[in-house]
Structure 1
Amino acid sequence: MSTTLHPDNADTRRSALAQEGFRFVEGEAMRSLLSSHGSLADWPQFAASWDALEPDTYLASVGLHRRRRHAVFSIADGAITREVDQPHYQSRDYNTLQGGIARWFEPVLPQIAESETLRAVLGFCSDVFGGLAPQVPRWHVELHQFRIEARPGEPGQPTPEGVHRDGVDYVLVLMIDRHNIASGTTTIHAQDGALLGSFTLSRAFDAALVDDARVFHGVTPVVAQDPDAPSHRDVLVVTFRRDSAPAAN
């Protein structure tokens, strides 16, 4: 069961997300959507930066493994600004595994934060998410580069906290690369737990758009197809939360 977003126009995209609270976008369509907001010429370098992610020491402390980098941006009146590095914080209401602590991660590299591809991604998100809440003057945006690795006898856990909400307004999950990986199905749930949809981000540019206030989401564990070879699932997660701070002059 899946719900696919077609690249008709901005109003169609917003309407589809507003009606159901989530949308799956196939890679070819998503690439076209992103291209309408900027160049993707540096996509190969952008995708290659996942090879430079650092271990998530917080998750390692509970015996699980992933790599990541993090950055914070603000968007006001269409202007995208990278903010000073900040910790990532979620309350235990949203993250029962690692909530209630300020987690500092290695920052997104400057050349990636300033890349044409990322600017296209953020422009797309600003268009779609900002169009759903035009009364919001300023958005607090967090960017997460994730690599989930599956090891012999040990599935990788894309969402170790289980089915959850992130405690933001909107979420984009963009597939960057899958190598030697099986499973990793995204599931979308109503607040009573009922399954609303499921789909697998399996190719570069496949994407999920989520209205975090309305639905819960999770991803099933991933396993290595060949347990003797390296395997990973690379995604970019972008979250938008309305920011009460005044925009800088």
Structure 2
Amino acid sequence: MHFGPEVLGAALEGAGAGAVEEFTGSWDDLPADTHLGTGTPYRFRRYGLFRIRPGRLERLPHTAFFQDKSVNKVHGGVPRLFAPLSASVAGGEVLRTVVHTLRRHLPGPRAGMDTCGVHQIRVTATTRTEGHPAPEGVHQDGHCYVAQVLIRREGVSGAESALYDLRSRPVHRAVLTTPLETIVLDDRRLLHGVSPVRPAPGASCGVRDMLLVDFFPGGGDDARGEGDVALPVEGDVASPG
């Protein structure tokens, strides 16, 4: 499903503009992704793991992010240790609100979805070097659900998000342009990819900031009281049968 900024925007009204501004500003403090293997870094990121509890997030010990080679042909099979989320982001009301709101809008049953991985990612591009949000191409992440939230898009062309069914037939295409615009997908039933980031005409560089949240069962208690039925959202992108 693909929905506009009003969903997360309304949920974050109680957090206050200052808290939201501090949260989005934290993307300016992301270290380079050392696993890219490129001479000039174009991707910067932090990562954190959480158990989803009623009304809160329980931060789990920091660990490497791992994907099987079957879903990530570029970086799969290798534990990637990214810098942890800052304490203010991990323990803040904004992230808690965003995660719980996204969970309520998963495009399928929520029972058992008690754990999430949170990725802060910045991809940059210059006139000499384009940025690749998904170097692995069209892929799956190896989780149950994946939420993709635009935080910032400045001086950027490209970066079109595309969803495909498991036979690689196109299902949905969109360019996220407005902060808090979101795509949430069932990673078990869809493939996804993003085209390269390039500077917009007349710009010397471009910046695209994303918040990615992976939802999956972690073996703990479910987020009781959150319900187990997906909410209908305008602009729903149905998973293939």
Fold conserved between structures, TM > 0.5: yes
- Whether the 8 Å CA contact 1:152–1:227 is kept in 2: the answer is no
Q: How has the CA–CA distance of structure 1 residues 213 and 57 changed in structure 2, closer, same or farther, with 3 Å as cutoff? A: same
- Write the mapping of 1:31-110 to structure 2, written as runs, cut at 5 A: 31-32=9-10, 34-35=11-12, 39-41=15-17, 42-61=19-38, 65-77=42-54, 79-110=56-87
Runs of 4+, deviation exceeding 6 Å: none
Partner-residue secondary structure (3-state), 1:50: helix
Deviations 1:189-236 (A, max 9, x none): 000000001011111111101111110111111101257633210000
Distance 1:212 1:95 in 2: 13
Q: Does 2:195 align with 1:217? A: no
- Whether the 8 Å CA contact 1:173–1:237 is kept in 2: the answer is yes
Partner-residue secondary structure (3-state), 2:23: helix
* Other-structure match for 1:6: none
Gaps of 5+ in 1: 1-22
Distance 1:170 1:197 in 2: 16
Distance 1:167 1:62 in 2: 28
Distance 1:245 1:140 in 2: 8
- 1:90 is displaced (CA, Å) by 0.2
Q: Does 2:158 align with 1:183? A: yes
Q: Does 2:109 align with 1:132? A: yes
Higher helix share goes to which structure? Answer: 1
- Whether the 8 Å CA contact 1:188–1:197 is kept in 2: the answer is yes
Q: Does 2:214 align with 1:239? A: yes
* Total equivalences in the alignment: 221
Deviations 1:27-56 (A, max 9, x none): 234412x337x5253111111110000000
- Whether the 8 Å CA contact 2:51–2:220 is kept in 1: the answer is no
Distance 2:172 2:16 in 1: 30
| Percent of aligned positions that are identical | 28
Deviations 1:88-139 (A, max 9, x none): 00000110000001110111100111122111101112323397232x1x62
Partner of residue 159 from structure 1, selected from 123, 127, 134: 134
Q: Does 2:170 align with 1:195? A: yes
Deviations 1:173-204 (A, max 9, x none): 11000111111110000000000010111111
Distance 2:115 2:83 in 1: 19
Q: Does 2:3 align with 1:28? A: no
Gaps of 5+ in 2: 223-241
Q: How has the CA–CA distance of structure 1 residues 119 and 246 changed in structure 2, closer, same or farther, with 3 Å as cutoff? A: closer
Distance 1:35 1:228 in 2: 31
